[in-house]
Amino acid sequence: MIKPHGSDTLKPLFVYDVDKHHALQQEAEGLPSLLLNSAAAANAVMLGAGYFNPLTGYMNVADAVSVAEKLHTTDGLFWPTPVLNLSQSIDEIKDAKRIALRDPNVEGHPVIAIQDVDAIEEFSDAQIQMIAEKVYGTTDLQHPGVATFTSLGKFAISGNIQVLNFSYFQQDFPDTFRTAVEIRNEIQEHGWQTVVAFQTRNPMHRAHEELCKMAKEAVNADGVLIHMLLGKLKKGDIPAPVRDAAIRKMVELYFPPNTVMITGYGFDMLYAGPREAVLHAVFRQNAGCTHFIIGRDHAGVGDYYGPFDAQTIFDEQVPQDALQIEIFRADHTAYSKKLNKVVMMRDVPDHTKEDFILLSGTKVRAMLSEGMAPPPEFSRPEVAQILMDYYQNKKD
């Protein structure tokens, strides 16, 4: 099986030993507490689940700056985005060497992790702006990722963590949330050698379905990992339970049995375009996948990125030996009226725009809200029904 990023074996930071876990929970009650923001809590979940392998905790200012500027930490580990515990206030933890990190997303704010405090440093305004510019490609506060990042606070609390739970993800998504450890184990149980991963924060329409099938065939994969983001999204995105139901229905009806794993991970979307595409590749390598689909405007938002910037970053900024996972580069996919099937646009140079069935996201949402199913060439009827039900109930 493909090795994780940066180590021979996966090193998740979740404390699996029952006695040790219990002892840490008891210790946490006597430690100074820090209530995390959602971004830092999501980072703790990803560290615990092994997706951020081989990181052992939150970065300090020097590592965050190095990662933003050069895509590697100060000790040379390739990494695409800073992994930080930022706070607006450190009054409760000044001079503390060990602290309890509390979850902002669960009632009662239970302890999600214990952190050894290596340093508490303050970012300068210039450093915050530089990181935003490098990671998100803009400092525009209309960009949802920039707006979130610049609001988290300037104090960086760095140090190793021990993770005690996976926030709300395990409870709210018991059938879908999986750690990188669990996905690796399941891939081994299937006996799969070649696995292609597909990232989604949206329901999957015909074009996404066919793209997974095309990629599987092109790389002769044993199976497909559909890996959906379960964390915080921007306003207007479809909630995870609805996406989950729609994707499960599509796989049940339109994929051969035992060829797809439907899973999800607990992270808040960054909308960082190319940099986030590289981060997504790291996640999937850590989960044991050999190939990762990157399509048009991957992890993008608005018009901040070119349509294929998330692919070219692998040529221009990612060193050749930095990652073992291979990128499957996809073009825009759509249903061809000429060929009566979904195709990649680059494969049909003789087509004009009129030869495809193309619908904007705005148009699709309007149709679903009015109880109108998009054409079956665009969306499977059973999937459209789930989405129509959601939009109809949302109106009421």
What whole-number distance in Å separates Cα of residue 208 and Cα of residue 312? 21
User: What are the DSSP E strand ranges found in 94-239?
Assistant: 98-102, 111-116, 119-122, 155-163, 195-200, 223-229
Q: Rounded to 5 degrees, what are φ and ψ at 119?
A: -160, 150
Q: Is 346 exposed, middle or buried (0-12, 13-18, 19+ CB in 10 A)?
A: exposed
Residue 56: count of CB within 10 angstroms of its CB? 14
CA–CA distances in Å: residue 190 to residues 5, 185, 187, 224: 22, 9, 5, 12
- Residue type (1 letter), 218: A
Catalytic entry in 160, 202, 248, 296: 202
CA–CA distances in Å: residue 363 to residues 244, 331, 370: 22, 21, 11
Q: Does 201 qualify as catalytic in the annotation?
A: yes
**Peptide bond connecting 376 to the previous residue in cis, omega within 30 degrees of 0:** no
The rounded Cα 120 to chain-centroid distance in angstroms is 27
Residue 9: count of CB within 10 angstroms of its CB? 10
Catalytic entry in 37, 160, 165, 201: 201
- The two structure tokens encoding residue 280: 């997504």
Q: Does 340 qualify as catalytic in the annotation?
A: no
> Number of H helices and number of E strands within the chain?
13, 15
Question: Catalytic amino acids?
Answer: 201-202
